[in-house]
Amino acid sequence: MRILAAMSGGVDSAVAAARAVEAGHDVVGVHLALSRAGGTLRTGSRGCCTIEDAMDARRAADVLGIPFYVWDFSERFRDDVIADFVSEYQAGRTPNPCMRCNEKIKFAALLERALELGFDAVCTGHYATLVDGADGLELHRASDAAKDQSYVLGVLTAQQLAHTYFPLGSTPSKAVVRAEAETRGLSVAQKPDSHDICFIPDGDTRGWLAEKVGTATGDVVDRSGAIVGSHEGAHAYTVGQRRGLKLGVPAADGKPRFVLEVRPVSNTVVVGPKEALATAEIAGDRLSWAGRAPSASSFACDVQIRAHADPVPARASLVDGVITVVPDEPFDGVAPGQTAVLYEGTRVIGQFTIAHTVSAVPAPV
């Protein structure tokens, strides 16, 4: 096949490209320039897609002997990922920018251009597995549960999966990938993984959002509506948060309180006891299926609500395009804006963005 290898500058994408070459494919490397900001140099292990990453990707391509290009996707990234991130926080939701980047950039904009240029597939260093099932191609978890990235790939459609290539899916561990990179002479073999939002390399999400949307003082209330503190911007809070609340009125039982809800219209943050974070039901939008859709409108599944969360057995129901999921045991601390990925065993069924939650602990009357 003609393969376009997306090379982030990290060890995973470099080894994935190397395996594609070794498999006999015609491979071209490409690094996506996602920011035009001058101060995007890496600090420690923070961020990704920086100037240094582009240079690391080029050096890896040189070692592999493949053509290499840098494509400017900064405008698409700004419009489809950064703007979405800001608007979601303004709406009181907690977004996952990596999901949007996979959906809108790596497997939409990049794949579209790759197909236009005659490539058969886009290769990435994601840890996930593609399986030829009875009803078509299926997306499954990776062999290494600790590195499995099928959750952040849950946004991919059947058409996109048909043009993707994940060479690392069956790799038993990240240590194997690093050792292989050393053997191949790739300078990124011991490069640290990035763990932060790439467009906020210093990790200060609250400060970054304050610059984008400003600050507006509002009330922090308990579940009864009593004012227990104040804040300087509801966008700086997310469901499940405990630290930094600076409440002026202690709880009656003396126990810590957590953010339960963010109400952007009234610029109010609701806090309460930890047990009130238990969620008995979620519902959402932006629904998509990774391959064949379920044949029934109600079906059993496992649901994962964070990249590294354990899957929870649940029952999903679809009515008029709205999906509702009721877990066998309550979820813990679910925030609107998070992505829920549905599984059947190791297979990804599909995903949706959580728009509504129902607490397992009723609020006091």
Pairing of strands 129-133, 136-140: antiparallel
98 is known as an active-site residue: no
> What single-letter DSSP state applies at residue 69?
E
In angstroms, the CA 11 to CA 307 distance is: 20
Among 48, 123, 198, 301, which one carries the catalytic annotation? 198
Strand (E) or helix (H) holding 52: helix 51-64
Handedness of CA 88, 93, 98, 102 (dihedral sign): negative
49, 101, 123, 301: the catalytic one is 101
Tell me the DSSP string of 218-281.
EEEE-TTS-EEEEES-GGG--TT--TT---SS--TT----EEEEEETTTTEEEEE-GGGGEEEE
Give catalytic status of residue 198 as yes or no: yes
| Continuous segment of H or E residues that includes residue 112 | helix 110-116
What's the rounded Cα separation, in Å, for the pair 315 and 307?
20
DSSP H or E stretch at residue 314:
strand 312-319
Through-space distance between the first and last CA atoms of the chain, rounded to whole angstroms: 63
Instruction: Spell out the residues 6+ positions from residue 52 whose beta carbon is closer than 8 angstroms to its own.
Output: 9, 41, 42
Q: Which helix (H) or strand (E) holds 11?
A: helix 11-22
Sign of CA dihedral 94, 346, 177, 105: negative
d(CA 278, CA 326): 12
Catalytic residue numbers? Answer: 101, 198
